[in-house]
Amino acid sequence: MAIGVELNINVKNLEILGLGAILHDVGKMLVPLEVLRKPGKLTEKEFEQIQKHADYGFHLIKNVHTVSLLVANCAYQHHERLDGSGYPRGIKGDEIHYFGKIIAVADVFDAVTSNRVYRKAMLPHQGLEVLYAGVGKKFDNAITEAFRRAVAIYPNGLSVELNDGRKGVVSSQNEGIGDRPMIRILEEDGERIKEPYEVDLNKNLHLLIMKCLDTRTSLTSRISWLFHSLFSFMMAGATEPFPLLK
């Protein structure tokens, strides 16, 4: 949504984009959980099963007649890439709807900066580099720039460790420079300090964030898990309440 606001999308279309973003992975509830959560390398067949979630999502949403077909297309197109290297159809450039391109950028950042069963999360600025590496080939340039401007790469309140060992929390943002925020230092040499102070990463370019100390699971994976649990519960006619989010 923040990217859409940055791109001056009107309110009516923001509602569609927002719903598309929330539901973009809804098709994963039809992918077997053991495949979705497999810790090791996927076989070709398992990867094909996962890829089907875009198609499943499209068909699930398009049958809800109160929802715009564009929302269904967000689910259908969020893994398509500008150069045609995406899936499920391998469409390219302007064949991909603008909203599909926006959700692709947000989804890739979310995916690479979240812990997965098969790999650890990248740091947010590393996630941004993944996007930059794909600009013009996989991701739209203007959308990626809007993402950088609109999204706090290191959000306020996040606990971080710097390359000199000091620990603190992100206290405020430097506008337009989301990867170099202000840090309130709380710990030095492994000891809690009595008088916390601020360090501006944009004025101290030798300092880098080396670790994010908050473990987080991506919002989208939590939502997918919720849908999957709900769907399994309904299909099984289970008497047990479906598992709570962890």
Least distance between Fe ion and beta carbon 11 (Å): 26
Choices 17-25, 96-104, 163-171, 178-186 (CB under 5 A): range interacting with Fe ion = 17-25
Rounded to the nearest whole angstrom, what is the least distance from the CB of residue 110 to Fe ion in the complex? 10
Q: Per rule CB under 5 A, is residue 25 in the interface with Fe ion? A: yes
Rounded Cα–Cα distance for residues 154 and 200 (Å): 13
Intra-chain end-to-end CA distance of the chain, in Å: 25
Contacts of 67 (CB under 8 A, 6+ apart): 19, 61
**Given the complex with Fe ion, which of 116 and 125 has the nearer CB atom?**
116
Q: Where does this chain touch Fe ion (CB under 5 A) — which range of 23-31, 90-98, 158-166, 235-243?
A: 23-31
* C-beta of 4 vs 57, nearer to Fe ion: 57
Q: Positive or negative CA dihedral for 212, 180, 5, 157? A: positive
Task: Write down the least CB distance from residue 189 to Fe ion, Å.
Answer: 43
**Please, which residue, 25 or 140, has the CB nearer to Fe ion?**
25
Query: Helix (H, G, I), strand (E, B), or coil: what is residue 49?
Result: helix
137, two tokens: 């080939």
**CA diameter of the chain:** 59
Q: Which is nearer to Fe ion, 25 or 80 (CB)?
A: 25
Q: Please identify the residue of the shown chain whose CB is closest to the bound Fe ion.
A: 25
User: In terms of CB distance, is 103 or 121 closer to Fe ion?
Assistant: 103
Q: Would you give the DSSP letter of residue 199?
A: E
Integer Cα distance of 34 and 48 in angstroms: 14
Site residues, Fe ion (CB under 5 A): 25
